């Protein structure tokens, strides 16, 4: 994980996600889901940043409080100009237009 911004939230790395799924739920939408593998942290928010033909998705974690969870589900709209979707600060490729969902080993 990497620290991000003044709010002390941490950016989740893909290698720290259990049960990660990226699937095209319907045309023009990619559904991302998983569970942060950090028992003391919970998902605060999910940000997406457009970078030309790519979208970078960042799952932001904070210390867990009552009512918070480490699981996430995010429906990401994909317009016809998006060619790639990456995850986290490392920009790990999870989807590409010419090949669909990228399978993890």
Contact 96, 87 (CB under 8 A): no
> pLDDT digit string (tens) for 1-37?
454 444 689 999 999 999 999 998 888 999 999 999 9
Average pLDDT, the chain: 91
- Name 97's Cβ contacts closer than 8 Å, sequence gap at least 6: 82, 83, 84
The predicted pLDDT at position 95 comes to 96
* pLDDT > 70? residue 105: no
DSSP 91: T
* pLDDT > 60? residue 84: yes
Token pair 């998983």: residue: 34
DSSP letters of 7-46? TTEEEPPGGGEEEEEEEEEETTEEEEEEEES-TTEEEEEE
The pLDDT of 76-98, averaged and rounded, is 95
Give the global pTM. 0.88
Q: Please give the Cα distance from 10 to 27 (Å, whole number).
A: 31
């Amino acid at each position: 994980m990497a620290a991000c911004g003044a709010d002390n939230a941490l950016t989740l790395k893909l290698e720290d996600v259990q049960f990660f799924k990226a699937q095209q739920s319907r045309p023009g939408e990619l559904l991302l889901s998983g569970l942060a593998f950090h028992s003391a942290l919970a998902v605060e928010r999910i940000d997406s940043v457009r970078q030309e033909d790519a979208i970078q998705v960042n799952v932001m974690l904070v210390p867990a409080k009552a009512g918070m969870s480490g699981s996430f589900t995010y429906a990401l709209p994909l317009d016809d100009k998006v060619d790639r979707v990456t995850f986290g600060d490392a920009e790990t490729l999870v989807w590409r237009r010419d090949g669909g969902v990228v399978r993890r080993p």
